[in-house]
Amino acid sequence: MTTDLTSSITPDFHSILSQTAIAYREGSKPPKADVVVNALLQAEKYAKQQRLNYPFDSLMGKWRLCFVTGTKKIRKRGGIVLGKGFYVPRFTSVHISFSIITEQVLDRGEIGNQVQLGSILLNLNGPAKYLGNKNLLAFDFTQMQISFSDRVVYNRQIRSGKTQTLDFDNQPIAKLPFFAFFLLTEDFIAARGRGGGLAIWIKANPN
């Protein structure tokens, strides 16, 4: 079922996650971490039950990471469980961005990851492909740039660079990093990463 991002239906978890996004943006007191983690799990379960599908273009733009969970391995069970969730410190700016390369191929694009701490800025870029029936975005970073006080001090391709980009489409999803999105709105998005952790990003430049 293709999802309407402007739907008036707002489950309880949606309200909590909306409060989380607003509080982080405004610098006000946000919901407690365990409440947010529970809301994320509910949102993920709801998306699976309703078989929600989100179009790739709903991811376009720049998003700021505001909340993440860690994971930890359980030896006896041979799996992983979620660790405690936490808000990303506001003095550290972590962004992710998505763009479509060509309108003729709507499920292929580019991903960017930007981390800024003081005057140090790290940029990673590379190809991305979107599996709409699973809301899954696979990607690979092929270019790295490091800047200090607006001056580029490092700018190189990662591993084989262009060759890696050309081979990207032939790589199976199981061998690529990915995000499995389960909630996309005009103001925030949420996903589970390949490692099992959950994350929320807020729109960097809301209208």
Instruction: Write the pLDDT tens digit of every residue in 45-98.
Output: 999 999 999 999 999 999 999 999 988 766 555 567 788 899 999 999 999 999
Residue 198's pLDDT is what? 97
**Per the structure block, which two tokens stand in for 74?**
């359980």
**Angle at 62 (CA atoms; ends 60, 67), nearest 5 degrees:** 115
Walk me through the domains of the chain, giving residue ranges and CATH numbers.
12-203 (2.40.128.280)
Residue 104's pLDDT is what? 64
What is this structure's pTM? Answer: 0.88
* Among 146, 193, 172, 173, CA closest to 40: 193
Q: How far apart are CA 55 and CA 52, in angstroms?
A: 10
**Angle at 96 (CA atoms; ends 30, 151), nearest 5 degrees:** 110
* Cβ proximity of 183 and 15 under 8 Å: no
Residue 107's pLDDT is what? 86
Residue 158's pLDDT is what? 84
Q: How many CB atoms lie within 10 A of CB 148?
A: 12
Residue ranges of the chain whose pLDDT lies below 50: 6, 8
Residue 196's pLDDT is what? 92
